[in-house]
Amino acid sequence: MIHRGGWPAAALPEARHEIGNCACGFHWFRHVDSSLPCRRSALSGLALRTGQGPDISLAAVWAGPALDDASNQWKDDPKVSALVGELAARKLPLDEAQKAAADFLASPGLDKTSAGKLLFAGLFDTLNAERSSVMNGLERVTRRQRQAADKIRADTLALQALQSATPPDQSRIDELGNQLVWETRIFEDRRHVVKFVCDVPTTIDQRLFALGRTIQQDME
């Protein structure tokens, strides 16, 4: 028989015992605290944020000529707009994206400076928006994980109190034990799913910086 959340029913008594055991309980508190997603450097990326939110600082990724009105005009150029979408997609390997950008800027008769500014402005807007979305999502998950950790700690203490009572209320112990197994399984599953997402902001930072450098070099 499988318990909700995928735990074998036969394993529940042992799981409840381990969660409720006093010595294990305090170890679990420390484990929960250290398991919050993107707790430290993963959220800082390459330190390309402005410090006021999840946005990237333009000065950190672009040393070329001022973008001026390019930020408002790149969408009006069909070729640039289409290329921005291709280059921003992380499914396209970075080296291939850099080559595509270089090939575009090498087109005969193209004003490299104007085209380069439009292309980077589009990449900056697109990848900055994507990064902001990812960062905001991670912050929401972090808050949910912190709330879940608090709930697990409170329920663990409650279970310990029930186990220490005389006489113990076995029905309530079983009920709370099952609930704790479910809560901890959700917490761990979410932590594992989110773990790989923590690297996405840094990946976006690196991609934007590398593409910006390629564009600057080919504009010269």
Task: For the full predicted model, state whether its pTM sits above 0.75.
Answer: no
Is the residue at 118 inside a domain? yes
Is the residue at 50 inside a domain? yes
Vertex 136: Cα angle to 130 and 142 (nearest 5): 135
Is the residue at 178 inside a domain? no
The domain tally of the chain equals 1
Query: Residues 77-131: pLDDT tens digits?
Result: 999 999 999 999 999 999 999 999 999 999 999 999 999 999 999 999 999 999 9
Is the residue at 203 inside a domain? yes
* Strand partners for 49: 56
Is the residue at 202 inside a domain? yes
Is the residue at 181 inside a domain? no
What pLDDT tens digit does each residue of the chain (220 aa) get? 334 333 334 334 444 444 444 333 434 444 444 444 565 444 444 444 433 356 788 888 888 888 988 888 999 999 999 999 999 999 999 999 999 999 999 999 999 999 999 999 999 999 999 999 988 888 888 888 899 999 999 999 999 999 999 998 999 999 999 999 999 999 988 888 787 788 888 899 999 999 999 999 998 7
Is the residue at 177 inside a domain? no
Q: Are 135 and 82 in contact (CB under 8 A)?
A: no
- How crowded is residue 151: how many other Cβ atoms within 10 Å of its Cβ? 15
**Cis preceding linkage at 8, omega within 30:** no
pLDDT for 37 equals 54
pLDDT for 38 equals 62
Cα R_g (the chain), whole angstroms: 25
Q: Which two tokens stand for residue 53?
A: 């939110």
- How crowded is residue 99: how many other Cβ atoms within 10 Å of its Cβ? 12
Residue that the structure tokens 């999502």 belong to: 137
pLDDT for 54 equals 62
* Strand partners for 182: none
Is the residue at 180 inside a domain? no
Domain with 121, as residue range(s), is 2-170+186-219
Q: Which two tokens stand for residue 220?
A: 């010269």
Helix (H) or strand (E) holding 192: helix 170-195
- How crowded is residue 196: how many other Cβ atoms within 10 Å of its Cβ? 8
pLDDT for 16 equals 43
